[in-house]
Amino acid sequence: MSRLAQLPLRGLLALALLALAGPAGKAAAAELADFFGTYVGNAQELGDTEPMARDIDIVIEPFHDEGFQINWITVTKVDGRRDVPGVERTVQSAFFEPAEDRSLFVEVEADNPFREREAKEPMSGHAVRWASVDGETLHVYSFVVLEDGRYELQIYDRVLTDGGLDIVFQRFDDGVLVRQIKGSTVRVHP
């Protein structure tokens, strides 16, 4: 007879309530504002290839009334160094506003008074991005239809920790995982 079957009904009820409550000491689900801040850290690509070390800077801040923006810089090092030829530096930004009648955010263009907003055209290769907060994780998704009809899906998770964010990046081509990067950051004061 299994140990679970041996527990009295009162014990099973207590176990179920603990499972619903979550791990001991775990705070309630995060709010979007809990992610706002400046973070620095590093990450490594996982997989069959030799791990590539990266330095990362992430800034998450409010955008308009209820949205947010993410700015991030990635420095891909050469042999663990950033002071040699071949180092790559990538700077990216994304702006999100709440979707109507949904509990997620959709990417919008940055404010530019000199240009009309362009509609995203996924079939022309424009990335469609959206985000959601689930527990302690801010998920950002990017979906692109490639020229040959295949698709690429990127998932970038930022998980709150006591001191900053853990990050997990995954890129799928037609459902096959082709790149995975994991790292950690600490919250800093700008």
What is the residue-wise DSSP string for the chain? --HHHHS-HHHHHHHHHHHHH-STTPPSPPPGGGG-EEEEEEEEEESSSPPPEEEEEEEEEEETTTEEEEEEEEEE-BTTBSSSTT-EEEEEEEEEEEPTTSSSEEEEPPP-TTSPPPPP-GGGT--EEEEEEETTEEEEEEEEE-TTS-EEEEEEEEEE-SSEEEEEEEEEETTEEEEEEEEEEEEE--
Mean per-residue pLDDT for 16-37? 59
* Residue predicted with more confidence, 42 or 28: 42
Mean per-residue pLDDT for 42-52? 81
Residue type, 11: G
Q: How far is CA 97 from CA 61, 69, 106, 134, 139, in A?
A: 12, 9, 6, 16, 14
Confidence (pLDDT) at 141? 96
| Nearest to 181, CA basis, from 42, 41, 43, 88 | 43
What band does 101 get if pLDDT is binned at 50, 70 and 90? confident
Name the least confident of 35-39, 56-60, 80-84: 80-84
The domain ranges of the chain are 29-188
What value does the CA radius of gyration of the chain take, rounded to a whole number of Å? 20
What band does 72 get if pLDDT is binned at 50, 70 and 90? very high
- CATH code reported for the domain at 29-188: 2.40.128.20
Report the C-alpha gap between 129 and 153 in whole angstroms: 10
* Residue predicted with more confidence, 13 or 83: 83
pLDDT of 112 higher than 70: no
What band does 123 get if pLDDT is binned at 50, 70 and 90? low
Name the least confident of 9-18, 48-57, 109-118, 146-155: 9-18
Mean per-residue pLDDT for 24-43? 79
Task: Give this prediction's pTM.
Answer: 0.76
